[in-house]
Amino acid sequence: KQEVTQIPAALSVPEGENLVLNCSFTDSAIYNLQWFRQDPGKGLTSLLLIQSSQREQTSGRLNASLDKSSGRSTLYIAASQPGDSATYLCAVRWSNYQLIWGAGTKLIIKP
């Protein structure tokens, strides 16, 4: 069964720290993997998309890596800020259409 797991479920760090969020998935035959941010009661904001042929993608202070063979992706956030506080979701596309989602990591950045 194709599943996506995110550990830890919650993470609290002081402002300014660099941090890594983890996503693991079964079945390495993916099309792509997408990282999202979700603020409480809000929609889903796409952060980064990594194609199956890529190793990493960067956007500002965010860097996402992909290791298909081990079924893992990481989202690296540099110099964290209180505004980074949100739930970060990982979603994997195996088929042509649907995304299969992890449960998310709730990140709190303490000022």
Which residues here bind another protein, judged by CB under 8 A? 31-32, 34, 36, 41-46, 49, 51, 89, 91, 93, 95-104
Of 18 and 45, nearer to another protein (C-beta) is: 45
Chain-centre distance for alpha carbon 49: 10
Q: Which two tokens stand for residue 2?
A: 């194709």
Of 71 and 104, nearer to another protein (C-beta) is: 104
Of 52 and 74, nearer to another protein (C-beta) is: 52
- Cβ neighbors of 98 (< 8 A, separation 6 or more) are none
